[in-house]
Amino acid sequence: MTDARPSSVSQPRGKALRLHRGLARIWGSDQRFRGWLTTSNNNDIGTLFLIVATSFFVIGGILAMLIRTQLATPDSAFMAPQVYSQIFTMHGTVMMFLFAIPFFEAMSMLLLPGMLGTRDLAFPRLGAYGLWVYIFGGSAVIIAMLMGLAPDGGWFMYPPLSSAAFSPGIGADVWLLGITSIEVSAIATAIEVIVTVLRYRAAGMSLSRMPIFAWYILVVSVMILTAFPPMILGSLLLEVERALNWPFFKVENGGDPLLWQHLFWLFGHPEVYIIFLPAAGVIATILPVMARTNLLGYGWVVAAAVSLAVLSFGLWVHHMFTTGIPHIGLAFFSAASTLVAVPTSVMIFSWIGTLWKGRARMELPMLWIMGFFATFVIGGLTGVMLAVVPFNWQVHDTHFVVAHLHYVLIGGYVFPMVAAIYYFMPLLTGRTRFFKLGEVAFWLVVPSFHITFLSIHMAGLLGQRRRTWTYDADQGWTALNLVASVASFVMAIGFALIILDVAVNAFVAVRGRRNPWGAGTLEWAAAIPSPAYGFASIPIVQGRYPLHDDPDLALHIARGEGYLGDASRNRRETLIVSTARGEPSQVVVLPGNSVLPFLLALVTSTSFLAPLFDAYIVAGLALVGVVALALVWAWGLGARADEGHVDAGHGAKLPLASESPDPPGWWGSVFLLLADGVHFGSLLFGYAFLWTVAPNWPPHSYLQAQLWAVILALTGALALTAGPRLAVRAIATGGAVWPTIALGIVGALALAIAAASVILDRPDPASHAYDATLWLLAGHVGLHTFLSSIMLFYLAARGAAGYASPARIGEAGIVRLWADFTVATGLVALAAAWLPGAFA
Amino acid sequence: MLACGLAIFLLVMALLLAAFYRPANPSVDGRDESGTRVWMWGLGLGFPLVTLAALTGYGLSIGERLLPREAPDLVTVQAEARQWAWTFRYGENRVIATEGVLHIPAGRPVNVEITSTDVIHSFWVPRLAGKLDAIPGHVNVLRIEAARAGTYDGQSAEFSGRGYREHVFTVEAHDAASWATFLKEGTQ
Amino acid sequence: MIEILRLSLPITVWLTGFSAVYALQGLSCSRHWPADLEARPVLLAAWAVAFVLQLIALIAVLYAPSPVRFVQTTATALAATALVAAVWTMMPVLAASACL
């Protein structure tokens, strides 16, 4: 293996050049300025995502510097306590929600198609939509802060402090609605990434040949789908309590503030691993290249990542060790918290073992990975200490915890991401680093980081509480805080240098050659910087490191010698493979440039943000706009005639995705419904939690089920199950579709009426948390029966307009999936509403 | 715990640096997986399982000893937090009340029944025990015990808004005689 | 999809069992628990059930193997991890105090 191999790849000539011109025309985005609003290409979207996330990092960093300025000296008069509360709340919020998650999403959007050997992500427009929702929601939060309307209850917003009584004004609402819209964006991106990793890969790329980064991002994306819904539910509950006085957290009316803490940490603990795992994926990608060898124990690392992901959902209570939970409960979570260190340790030793196996070299990305090791191991060890219950009882809510979480997040996330930026810069910009500010920045950032946060650890052990706006000179923390502040400013200068270095190198450094590090994965086989179409043809791979197996792979790809190396069909085609083995199975046509994602994001964000200004009518209109635009969006896809199998190259005749029973949209729906199901499960959990432990339960009476409503619900469920099934059969056999659709819609209606009976029987949701919960359960049924009805109408219209045929049956399958989900969760919701009354 | 942590940290760093200063072995193929026995089974799995089992068991056994169990000479007091003050109540029917100062007998186990009337606070006297939250609607019981008479600083340890920093109190631990006096004077 | 389920189901069973035992413990300390019912035997039984389910998950992975070797190896490792987790994380029902 030598470093100089890629220079042997000659410039694509002849066929390669013609192919390049054809594909560039098909895949290119609008070159005018408005092209930024209509593009859905992963390179453009990823770049915008990256720039915006970096901007939020700068904002969060400035807030951090304000905090350290305030704490540099005792009895500081720099900020008043009210201002300080806003600043630290926003620092946490910006860094966690607006920087950390979007930044790795940006990286995966930019890198995944290249690594997997496909041309774009699975749902390009969904990616664009996610980007714009993120930009609108994030900007709203920042603008509110600049207007002095920021939330000030700490980034985990514990009620009752964040309730209307103790936090009047719109600060908390900005937080709840802004963050929820960003979570919607994250869920959109996660679905896109999951379907891409599972289906959109190079020919022959089985699960065991997938780049390790793709595994990590797959795991993290599933975690986003299961961890964010509890948080979204929590935000919803708190927002309706604040706006409509539904008492979910109000003790007097049967609520319980602890419910928020459970929902928040059900999200918050996995969140830590959602942030760490992408960084681990980056390390597992870069480190073997730096050691000039292959990753040691690939299968081990995959298993460790999956188990870490699942174990992390069993840890949430360890943030609540001081809330008076019985010791046995703490013991469960203490045991789980220590167990989670095992997969982490498997990963760490896999990486060190890889270094031992190969011949390690100390390039700049490797230097940052060394910074990761030195920092993250300390953060992990203090984390294990925090899992020990008595120790936790002492240092909880002191600066020790602050320092611990910064060791984990900066050491475990930011440092590897800097490594990734430097490592992938030649790929993303096509340039070789020329200005060597990076090394200087490293030696500024890492030592000053340790000085800052070791001091803060000490201050915490000496009893300095987090979130106190100042301290007295005689408390003995003066020197530690001053040292921490000075060092933190040096660190800030270092980070500024990195951003400067990357920006300057991206624009003016010298053109570089392909694959400067001698990596073996596919992203380095594309032309640099990556063209809009990514690969001129879909590569065929036989191993985990295709570029090592075939040094001339880039040439073969450029000449169109892979699959779909042909621009003559004049549309954006890429390959879909079977999930496990990676055999070519479908050809998918991706949609072109469109302003729809931008518009839909605009109305979605309006519906989220209008309630802040009590503009409920505007919010309502925006919601109508969301439905209308979504229908326009969906209507524009698909075809009116069957095309049959198409030539994919290498003699393969493959069906189009739109003529397959499991198109990508079906897979996307499955994962969206997973998130929806977790959201519903969280609601049931909240209900059971209040029923079990909330003071002021039981309510004065339980709802009594009425026989007619039960019968209506059951028959409705039956009709809504049967309707879409019969519709699928009718489309497949060419029978009449309308009657089956009508059956489904009548079923949905019956289910909705049964749910309405719950609301009518308990007309006052503000009276008790029980009533409020019933309204939400009924609301869940109402929303989903509404969605199912719209989809059924849509299906009927599509059939009438000629968009459905026995081959083009995928859309009907998606509708059936949604109807089944509606029936299943609807029956559970109604049973949950009726059961306590039946047994009381 | 700190020493163990430091030792583990140094071990990891030493292994890491050794990779760079080790004589290179050019014959090893990238696909060679023989290292998994030592690195994965030994260091990745075995090492943390053993240390963590010990640590968890140790932590839980200490935690068990700190629980507010039945005790013969137990005293129970009530601590009620609000923005930004503490009220402590004593005696049967909680007739004695003090503001900002918690009186306890030294050398006897004391159960503090902690609650809140508005937002969440936390009761923390670092030299006597760990912290426990004061949550509206809930009563959490914390066991404290002052070995000798004297004054101990206490504070809230859960952010509660503007006056959080000044939300402090003191604990006054009395010897047997002055504790009796305190109770007697309070009931009059 | 079936291969994805092979990989993810056994360890999801652990998460479900763990949450269920924790919920049962919460219930045992609540107002709904019959006063004359000793909590620990019930918790121990729940632990045993969780363990048996976990064992079944592992056996299912072993006796209905995936045709893809990598999936089979990884699924086995994950199912075994889940079994260890089931023993380890619910061990506190043996010793720790119930409602203090």
Q: To the nearest whole angstrom, how far is the Cα of B185 from the nearest Cα of chain A?
A: 33
CATH of the domain at A827: 1.20.120.80
Are the Cβ atoms of A693 and C26 closer than 8 angstroms? yes
Domain interval for residue A732: 698-839
According to DSSP, residue A398 is labeled B
Contacts of A681 (CB under 8 A, 6+ apart): none
Please report whether residue A829 resides in a domain: yes
Q: Which residues of A touch C3 (CB under 8 A)?
A: 207, 579-580
DSSP letter assigned to residue B86: E
CB of A444 closer than 8 Å to CB of A489: no
Is A779 inside a domain boundary?
yes
CB contact under 8 A, B60 and C97: no
Q: Which residues of B touch C97 (CB under 8 A)?
A: 64, 67, 69
Instruction: Answer yes or no: is A824 within a domain.
Output: yes
User: Which residue in B has a C-alpha nearest to residue C85's C-alpha?
Assistant: B49
Inspect the interface and report whether the beta carbons of C100 and B60 lie closer than 8 Å: no
Rounded-to-integer distance, Cα A444 and Cα A441, Å: 5
User: With contacts defined as CB-CB under 8 Å, which chain C residues touch A220?
Assistant: none
Range 88-127 of B in CB contact (< 8 A) with A: 114, 118-120, 122, 126
B3: closest CA of chain A, how far (Å): 11
| Count of structural domains, chain A | 1
Q: How many residues does chain C have?
A: 100
Which residues in chain C have their CB less than 8 angstroms from residue B139's CB? none
Phi, psi at residue A344, to the nearest 5°? Answer: -60, -45
pLDDT mean for each 10 residues of chain A (840 residues): 39 77 90 88 94 97 96 91 92 94 95 96 95 94 90 88 90 88 92 96 95 97 96 95 94 94 93 94 96 92 95 86 83 85 92 90 94 91 79 84 93 96 92 85 96 94 90 91 96 96 87 88 89 93 93 91 91 94 94 94 92 88 95 90 91 92 93 97 95 90 93 97 95 91 97 96 94 97 97 93 90 95 97 90
A634/A279 Cα distance (integer angstroms): 35
C80 pLDDT more than 50 = yes
Helices (H), chain B: 2-21, 36, 47-65, 176-187
Is A750 inside a domain boundary?
yes
Rg of the Cα atoms in chain B? 26
**Chain A CB within 8 Å of residue B40 CB:** yes
Q: Does A327 touch chain C (CB under 8 A)?
A: yes
What are the distances in angstroms from CA C50 to CA A332, B115, C76?
A: 14, 36, 18
3-state secondary structure of A250: coil
Min Cα–Cα distance to chain A from C52, Å: 19
A357–B32 C-beta distance less than 8 A = yes
Measure CA of the first residue to CA of the last residue in chain A; give whole Å.
Answer: 74
Which residues of chain A does B128 touch, with a Cβ-Cβ cutoff of 8 Å?
none
B168 strand-pairing partners:
B155
Interface test with chain C among B33, B50, B60, B141, by most C beta carbons within 10 Å: B60
Minimum-distance CB partner of C89 among A207, A335, A691: A335
Nearest CA in chain B to C100: B67
Binary contact (B16, A467; C-beta < 8 A): no
Distance CA A751, CA A719 (A): 10
Q: Of the CATH numbers 1.10.3720.10, 3.40.640.10, 3.20.20.20, 2.60.40.420, which one belongs to the domain with range B75-187?
A: 2.60.40.420
Contact A310 C11 (CB under 8 A): yes
The interface pTM score, or ipTM, of the predicted complex is 0.95
Distance, in Å, from the CA atom of A643 to the CA atom of C21, rounded to the nearest integer, reads: 54
Residues 6+ apart with CB under 8 A from A496: none
A648 touches chain C (CB under 8 A): no
Looking at beta carbons, which residues of chain B come within 8 Å of C100? 67-69
CB pairs under 8 A between A and B: 222
CB-nearest to C70 from A206, A300, A331 is A206
Chain A, chain C: beta-carbon pairs less than 8 Å apart: 103
The pLDDT value given to residue A546 = 95
- Put simply, the answer to whether B60 touches C96 (Cβ < 8 Å) is yes
Domain boundaries, position C17 = 2-94
Among A737, A734, A733, A727, which Cα is nearest to A818's? A727
How many beta carbons lie within 10 A of that of residue C66, not counting itself?
A: 18
Buried b (16+ CB within 10 A) or exposed e, A641-669: eeeeebebbeebebbbbbbbebbbbbbbb
* Residues present in chain B in total: 188
Residue C57 lies in a domain: yes
Q: Which of A37, A16, A40 is nearest to A28 (CA)?
A: A40
Radius of gyration for chain A, computed over Cα atoms and rounded to the nearest angstrom:
27
What sign does the dihedral A381-A387-A393-A399 (CA atoms) show? positive
Q: What is the pLDDT of residues B51-79, one digit of tens each?
A: 888 888 887 788 777 777 788 889 999 99
CA-based nearest distance A521→chain B, Å: 14
> ∠ CA(B135), CA(B136), CA(B137), 5° rounding?
110
**C-alpha distance from residue A688 to each of A252, A825, C23, C24, C26 (Å):** 18, 16, 9, 11, 11
CB contacts of C27 in chain A (<8 Å) are: 692
C92:B69 CB<8 A: no
CA distances from B162 to A152, A365, A473, A819 (A): 9, 44, 20, 50
Name the more confident of C37 and B88: B88
Q: How far is CA A834 from the centre of its chain?
A: 35
Nearest to A227 by CA among A271, A195, A188, A186: A271
Distance CA A131, CA A127 (A): 6
Overall domain count for chain C = 1
| Rounded Cα–Cα distance for residues A659 and A653 (Å) | 13
Contact assignment for B131 to A85 by CB distance below 8 Å: no
Put simply, the answer to whether C92 touches A331 (Cβ < 8 Å) is yes
Residue to substitute from B64, B65, B66, B142, interface C, most C β-carbons within 10 A: B64
Separation between Cα atoms, residue B124 and residue B126, nearest integer Å: 6
- Asked if B41 reaches chain A (Cβ–Cβ under 8 Å), the answer is no
**Are residues A1 and B164, on separate chains, in Cβ contact within 8 Å?**
no
Instruction: Tell me if chain C has a CB within 8 Å of the CB of A335.
Output: yes
CA B103, CA A235: separation in Å to the nearest integer? 41
Let me know if residue C54 belongs to a domain: yes
Inter-chain touch C88–A335, beta carbons under 8 Å: yes
Amino acid at A624: V
- Closest CB to A353 among B12, B20, B39: B39
Quick one: closest CA in B to C92, which residue?
B60
Q: Are A296 and B138 within 8 A, CB to CB?
A: no
Average pLDDT over residues B159-177: 93
Using CA atoms, how far residue B96 sits from A344, B79, B188, C43, in Å, is 53, 12, 9, 41
As to burial, measured by CB atoms within 10 angstroms (0-12 exposed, 13-18 middle, 19+ buried), residue A722 is middle
Task: Provide the pLDDT for residue B26.
Answer: 62
Q: A176 to chain B, minimum CA–CA distance in Å?
A: 18
pLDDT in tens, A576-589: 999 999 999 999 99
The long-range contacts involving B133-138, CB below 8 angstroms and separated by at least 24 positions, are B133/A322, B133/A323, B133/A324, B133/B158, B134/B79, B134/B80, B134/B81, B134/B158, B135/A257, B135/A258, B135/A323, B135/A324, B136/A160, B136/A251, B136/A257, B137/A251, B137/A256, B137/A257, B137/A694, B137/A695, B137/A696, B138/A258, B138/A324, B138/A695
